[in-house]
Structure 1
Amino acid sequence: MAAQALPVSQASSRRFSPGQTVMTCGVDALIQQGRLNPVPYLLRHLNGDWGDLDDCDKRQNDAALKSGEERLFSSYQIAPSLQLWIITEWDRSVTTLLLPSEY
């Protein structure tokens, strides 16, 4: 994984801290190719917009956000063949941006 920091603005609207933000090589390659700007999706994640999850998974994230005892997971469909996952660890120490194929 490349531990490249992402600029995250609008800190006042965050529902939680991402901790250290890292990305996998696949995400980094898409950024370098100009095929992905992950910042809007990271901001959505930090604001509690869990993306393309079903209602059950969204409720699980909302409960995890309140309890602070489970990880937070978001999924965003970027293009027909491109999906971005964002996972924040249960202790909010690390947030990872990855492709489903890299899980």
Structure 2
Amino acid sequence: MTTKKPLFELGQIVATPGVLEAIPNQIALLVLLSRHVRGNWGCVCADDAAANDAAVTEGDRILSAFPINPNKVCADHGDNCVWIITEADRSVTTFLLPDEY
């Protein structure tokens, strides 16, 4: 569902200390956020991608998963993964590591 325009509101944007340590480059975080808000869900499974597509219009929570190091494998969890979660009410979008959930 990737588009050129934002698909939903992000609300307040926050990041956990773990993410800020793992990805200290704020530009890299902004690039991931731009992908998230435009419907590029990263390396989530097909079912989660479909749920995200529906959540855009139905107002549910949206979760994207991206590799911290793009040269390494990223499932939708694990050591090389950062999550971006936009809450259902669109009040906040959080960068976090899977083990911080």
Cα root mean square deviation, aligned? 2.0
Identity %: 44
Residues in 1 aligned to 2:47 and 2:100: alpha-carbon distance in whole angstroms: 24
**Partner SS for 1:64:** helix
Q: Match for 2:34 among 43, 54, 57?
A: 43
Matched length: 90
- Is 1:67 the counterpart of 2:58? The answer is yes
Conserved? CA contact 2:22–2:68, under 8 Å: no
Conserved? CA contact 2:23–2:68, under 8 Å: no
Structure 2: unaligned runs, 5 residues or longer:
73-78
Partner residue, 1:54:
45
Render the CA deviation track for 1:20-67: whole Å, top value 9, x for unaligned: 0000011122344x5x82111111000011000111111101111111
TM-score (norm 1): 0.78
Residues in 1 aligned to 2:96 and 2:5: alpha-carbon distance in whole angstroms: 23
TM-score (norm 2): 0.79
Residues in 1 aligned to 2:54 and 2:19: alpha-carbon distance in whole angstroms: 28
Q: State the shift of 1:101 in Å.
A: 1.5
The residue type paired with residue 93 of structure 2 is T
